[in-house]
Structure 1
């Protein structure tokens, strides 16, 4: 009887162990199945989300991209081609009358932005030609005294500097993207003309403008047929974009003056009529001799001029004495 009880006990333990093993296996199978189902659901959900994202990303047609490029290029040309023509060949003024040359180099009045219909952002009231002039924004009483006669930027700058302007050197390059943005790259040339030239030879006087090239790398966002924003990857000096920047006198002459200089011989006196300078805006350094300014000035137009070649002069002293 004792032997039978022991046998029954062993059988009972074996049955219990088998039951536990079978139960544990069933539980693991359930857990694994649940995780696989969730992973499958997550993968499916992620796939659906990615597809939805892909569907939401607009893909512009070639025609739409071309339209965006047209708008971006128009914007870039409108805001950067202004003032004195910096691409005009200075050799056309060689030995011409001083009045004629200075007239060609005088900053013309700026129009309002050529096509405001493509401007899709708020224009700051401190930007552009009609904004309150620099002298009117100063606390210095002496400087502020000029405010009444130079109330806006255009009046003030034409009183300070004879000629300023920029032009695209070549047709800017553009690349349109699917997100509505357009990259515009190219080179813009600036010109600056200030009074102060004193050099003369053989009856001719020098006018010595400065030219400088600037690399442009802009990213324009086009939305609903308008430029909604412009990101500049290069320095955005105000004279390169006078419509959407605040005008200041800081370092304009030093900056542009660091470019190329060409001495133009002209006939007659240099009449800077119209300037009413405050003294706060620096002018270009002008050469006092052909070896001045570390040889940066191009004197090629003076090669056939000597002390005795004084046009229209009778009984002139020999050798300029």
Structure 2
């Protein structure tokens, strides 16, 4: 006869082992997403980052004289009015500074020392002489922004296309094209500006540069920038060290000859310490648009033209000036 286990014993065992022989209580399943999954699903580059990138690039590359100035609208104006429209203002503070978390090098931008000083500083060290150039560009503490106003008549840049910002890994790639303009005064030691019966040529240079930048963005601000193409300082004036070789950077630029009434006077230009972008020597010079010079009014030299020609002739030849009448004194 089999020995039966009392029901009371079985019930007691159940109570000890399972706290009841009914179904065991289930814990709530763990959150398989949680904070970690939320972080992982967040894009490396957000829409806000892309906007920060485009706003930043627009700010650092827009300044000075508008390269899209209506040059044809200046044709046939009095010289002083035409060149006044091409005069730049002194470059100010970086408009994109609030979008940056890094500090540019002290050698960059308009508040840095001017780029003419190092040359004269070297001469002073070699000769021990405080030459005039050193006093003008070094001793004076001249800032780059003020220096530029005495070197060039008009400069500026802006985006011609773009900026276009797209994610590139955990960075933002910005591409596009920046257009820049350069206007120099006729004070380069050569009397080669084109004149035709009272009309003089003012010939701005306009050129474009490709931009391909990689931006690092942290906490809503640009924390770093990598230029993947040439980045001349006049297309990026607040983050780049300025140099004197401006005109050579505009080699191959589009030139437009604007006919203006009377000889232009570029006040304040003096004798610039930068390379020269010479005016064309004739109306047939290649690379220059002369379309505004057809059918100009005026049948001959004005009285003012004759006076200017006489002054130039006397300055060069003295009493041997061939324009002087017999017995006429200069």
The residue correspondences of 1:223-302 to structure 2 (distance < 5 A) are: 223-250=218-245, 252-278=246-272, 280-292=273-285, 295-302=286-293
1:192 aligns with 2:178: no
Distance of 1:168 and 1:114 partners within structure 2: 15
Give deviations 1:66-118, integer Å, cap 9, x for gaps: 21111111111111111110012211111112112211211211121113221
Give deviations 1:119-178, integer Å, cap 9, x for gaps: 111211111001111233332244322124561101111111111111111332111245
Distance of 2:38 and 2:305 partners within structure 1: 83
The answer (yes or no) to whether the contact 1:160–1:275 under 8 Å persists in 2 is yes
Normalising by structure 2, report the TM-score: 0.71
Give deviations 1:211-232, integer Å, cap 9, x for gaps: 1111111111111111011111
Give the drift of 1:276: 3.2
Larger radius of gyration between Structure 1 and Structure 2? 1
The partner residue of 2:147 within 148, 156, 162 is 156
Q: Could you say which structure has the higher helix fraction?
A: 1
1:174 aligns with 2:188: no
Give the drift of 1:291: 1.7
Equivalent residue number for residue 295 of structure 2: 304
Give the drift of 1:315: 11
Normalising by structure 1, report the TM-score: 0.73
Give the drift of 1:274: 1.3
Equivalent residue number for residue 207 of structure 1: 202
The answer (yes or no) to whether the contact 2:60–2:96 under 8 Å persists in 1 is no
Q: 1:257 to 1:307 in 2, by over 3 A?
A: farther
Give the drift of 1:287: 0.8
1:83 aligns with 2:64: yes
Give deviations 1:227-261, integer Å, cap 9, x for gaps: 011111100111110101111102x1022142110
The answer (yes or no) to whether the contact 1:68–1:176 under 8 Å persists in 2 is no
Task: For residue 122 of structure 2, give the secondary structure of its aligned residue in structure 1.
Answer: coil
The answer (yes or no) to whether the contact 2:199–2:260 under 8 Å persists in 1 is yes
The answer (yes or no) to whether the contact 1:166–1:240 under 8 Å persists in 2 is yes
Equivalent residue number for residue 183 of structure 1: 173
Compare 268-277 and 182-191 and name the one that shifted more: 268-277
Aligned residues: 258
Distance of 1:151 and 1:160 partners within structure 2: 12
Compare 107-116 and 125-134 and name the one that shifted more: 107-116
Q: 1:304 to 1:58 in 2, by over 3 A?
A: farther
Equivalent residue number for residue 140 of structure 1: 123
Unaligned runs of 5+ in 1: 1-53
Q: CA RMSD in A?
A: 2.7
The answer (yes or no) to whether the contact 1:186–1:216 under 8 Å persists in 2 is yes
Moved over 3 A (4+): 54-62, 313-317
Unaligned runs of 5+ in 2: 1-35, 125-130, 187-191, 310-322, 324-330
